[in-house]
């Protein structure tokens, strides 16, 4: 019997990020989009160093693989390999392609004479006001190298031959990172740090510059909240957010060529002894390539205008339509307007007396939150579960929670140990003492900004039995104690809810396909996820494969399941989609002897989702909507999936 095996989760995630990087190498992708994929790769890697590398560093000395090499070292080696590939893609593909369009990106090159006067003027007119220097050997008493900020190490010799080190800030938080300069019809793109470097002799007129090297420090981003604290969680989080960028250093990213004696002096002075020293390219923080100054329609993807897919006659409302039939919105292909309208109608419908919702990542200028505050001012009972521990969105969520509370919205928070990751909303209407429910259940955040580039599914329904279960979930979440006990058992017949029935229900659904395979009945499993890690569910999929069940997986990121292994996973395939949109929806399809059952929802199959979050998955009952989801998923299992999906949804909207 084949041994049950699992991929390493961190190496799997790094494999996903390499898949992002490979999009930058495709000559079929427009050049500006290729540069943006370089930006996404860099941003992802920064987050990995802030979130995962501290974990790997902590356990490395206790747990090693069979070769005696810890996971931290394995990850570091893989990152170094990818960084070399990154540099090769830029040098061998991106720069020549830009040059073909007479756009000259000054990347690891001297600034050409044609633009030196412009570079000097930029330095004195715009840059110099934000520059400061720190002498490494003298001025470090109160200096702290900030997280993910760029610096330049300048090695100088004075008139007596004495060497000293100066640290120069690169003020990307105040100025743009890349400048587009024109000369005689030619375009040159120059980094801010190269503008500074070219003018350093002005800052040090009495010294000889021996070398200039770009640096960046990445720090641990973990927030540590004591679950026994009696303080208000917003107070605790705000205090920790103020110090997040002052965590211990996990990575010291350096430009190649720094003399070792200077590097050691710098490490000692900046207290970076425990950080991983990584030799990168000549430039860091390349997530800033997201704003690469390049205009022209031919340089970007062709526009796909959002499809308006929910036609509502002028004498009707969205609510009246939902009361007649389920509505499914597939963003970003289809317009997000129906979701905004759901909240707007709930806020102003005279029959709505209660509104409940979960908020995980809130848009910076959220019209959804504005509608909730309007509803509260209109005298409706509005309850919002705000997840304050949504990583890197904590401050924004705290801001909105305070504003909603001031407007009369009842704010509830999840517990320290149990995040609420569900994406749901509920409006209750009362007409002649009769209750009606209208619900919103989604695979992605209620966030109109991310809905422009995350692929998600949102179901709008008036299915009363399902929504009564949703009402019970909000009742549970409103309690001060968030860990479900015996008194909190809810008889879920429709919804799958983590901490209650989600894992067991999925195990049962897989088992039914196994039983059908053994009985010679129609069987099969197709699942789309962001991440797949949880070993009990993976082992059940292995069991299904060994029973002859065809298992098709679409997994964007982490995938600890090993497909195609003889005797274990022969019948399992894994597809990874990286395209212009970020695949984010979670879809679960079970053949059920020809009577397909389809679920969608917020839950990945990760340990955190299964064991330490409230997640909600929901069934799709409408036959027409099932057919749409099946068509989308089948297209996703093919090449060029996103363009095909857009054309499909556009076509059915015109029928």
Beta strands in 432-584 (DSSP E): 434-442, 454-461, 496-497, 525-529, 551-555, 572-575, 582-583
The tokens of 219 are what?
Answer: 């720090």
64-70-73 Cα angle (round to 5): 175
Q: Would you state the structure tokens that stand for residue 202, as one six-digit string?
A: 């002005």
d(CA 94, CA 198): 24
CA distance 141 to 419: 40
Q: What is the 3-state secondary structure (H, E, C) of 159-219?
A: CCCCEEEEEEEECCCCCCCEEEEEECCEEEEEEHHHHHHHCHHHHCCCCEEEEEEEEEEEE
The token pair that represents 12 in the structure block: 């799997």
Report the 10 Å Cβ neighbour count for 51. Answer: 15
Assess whether 421 carries a catalytic annotation: yes
Please list, in sequence order, all residues whose beta carbon lies within 8 angstroms of the beta carbon of residue 119, skipping any fewer than 6 positions away. Answer: 111, 181, 190, 194, 195, 198, 199
Q: Prior bond to 332 cis, omega within 30?
A: yes
CB contact at 8 A, 322 and 438? yes
User: Of 421, 463, 494, 584, which one is the catalytic site residue?
Assistant: 421
User: Do residues 193 and 152 touch, judged by C-beta distance below 8 A?
Assistant: yes
102: left (phi over 0), alpha (psi -120 to 50) or beta: left
Q: How far is CA 269 from CA 166, 248, 545, in A?
A: 12, 15, 56
Using only C-alpha atoms, what is the Rg of the chain? 27
* Tokens, residue 80: 């170094």
Enumerate the active-site residues: 421
């Amino acid at each position: 019997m084949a041994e049950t095996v699992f991929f390493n989760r961190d190496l799997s995630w790094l494999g996903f990020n390499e898949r992002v990087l490979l999009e930058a190498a495709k000559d079929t992708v427009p050049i500006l989009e290729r540069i943006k994929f370089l930006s996404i790769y860099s941003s992802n890697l920064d987050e990995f160093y802030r979130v995962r590398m501290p974990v790997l560093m902590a356990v490395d000395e206790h747990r090693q693989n069979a070769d005696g090499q810890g996971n931290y070292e394995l990850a570091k080696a893989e990152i170094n390999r990818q960084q070399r590939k990154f540099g090769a893609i830029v040098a061998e593909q991106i720069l020549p392609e830009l040059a073909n369009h007479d756009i000259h990106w000054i990347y690891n090159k001297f600034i050409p004479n044609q633009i030196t006067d412009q570079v000097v003027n930029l330095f004195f007119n715009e840059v110099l006001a934000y520059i400061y220097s720190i002498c490494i050997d003298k001025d470090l008493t109160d200096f702290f190298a900030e997280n993910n900020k760029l610096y330049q190490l300048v090695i100088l010799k004075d008139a007596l031959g004495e060497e000293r080190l100066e640290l120069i800030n690169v003020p990307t938080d105040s100025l743009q990172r890349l400048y587009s300069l024109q000369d005689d019809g030619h375009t040159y793109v120059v980094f801010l740090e190269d503008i500074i470097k070219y003018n350093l002799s002005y800052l040090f007129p009495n010294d000889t510059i021996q070398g200039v090297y770009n640096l960046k420090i990445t720090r641990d981003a973990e927030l540590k909240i004591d679950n026994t604290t009696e303080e208000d969680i917003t107070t605790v989080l705000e205090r920790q957010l103020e110090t997040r960028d002052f965590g211990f250093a996990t990575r010291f990213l350096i430009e190649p060529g720094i003399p070792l004696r200077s590097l050691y002096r710098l490490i000692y002075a900046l207290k970076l002894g425990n950080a991983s020293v990584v030799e990168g390219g000549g430039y860091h923080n390349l997530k800033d390539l997201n704003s690469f100054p390049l205009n022209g329609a031919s340089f970007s993807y062709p526009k796909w205008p959002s499809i308006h897919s929910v036609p509502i006659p002028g004498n009707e409302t969205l609510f009246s339509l939902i009361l007649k039939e389920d509505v499914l919105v597939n963003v970003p292909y289809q317009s997000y307007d129906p979701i905004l309208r759901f909240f707007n109608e709930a806020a102003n419908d005279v029959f709505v007396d209660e509104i409940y919702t979960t908020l995980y990542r809130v848009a910076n200028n959220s019209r959804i939150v504005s509608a909730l505050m309007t509803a509260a001012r209109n005298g409706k009972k509005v309850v919002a579960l705000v997840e304050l521990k949504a990583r890197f969105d904590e401050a924004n969520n705290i801001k909105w929670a305070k504003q909603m509370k001031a407007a009369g919205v009842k704010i509830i928070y999840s517990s320290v140990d149990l995040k609420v990751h569900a994406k749901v909303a509920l409006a209750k209407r009362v007409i002649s003492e009769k209750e009606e429910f209208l619900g919103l259940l989604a695979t992605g955040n209620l966030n109109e900004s991310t809905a422009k580039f995350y692929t998600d599914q949102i179901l709008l329904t008036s299915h009363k039995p399902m929504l009564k279960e949703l009402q019970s979930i909000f009742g549970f979440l409103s309690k001060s104690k968030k860990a479900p006990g015996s008194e909190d058992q809810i008889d879920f017949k429709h919804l799958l809810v983590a901490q209650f029935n989600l894992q067991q229900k999925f195990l049962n659904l897989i088992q039914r396909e196994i039983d059908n395979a053994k009985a010679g009945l129609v069987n099969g499993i197709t699942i789309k996820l962001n991440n797949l890690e949880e070993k009990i569910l993976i082992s059940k999929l292995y069991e299904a494969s060994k029973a002859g069940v065809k298992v098709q997986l679409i997994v964007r990121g982490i995938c600890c399941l090993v497909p195609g292994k003889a005797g274990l996973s022969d019948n399992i395939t894994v597809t990874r989609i990286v395209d212009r949109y970020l695949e984010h929806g979670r879809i679960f399809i079970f053949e059920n002897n020809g009577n397909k059952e389809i679920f969608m929802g917020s839950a990945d199959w990760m340990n955190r989702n299964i064991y330490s979050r409230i997640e909600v998955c929901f069934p799709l009952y409408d036959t027409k909507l099932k057919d749409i989801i099946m068509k989308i998923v089948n297209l996703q299992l093919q090449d060029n999936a996103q363009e095909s999906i857009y054309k499909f949804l556009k076509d059915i909207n015109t029928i």
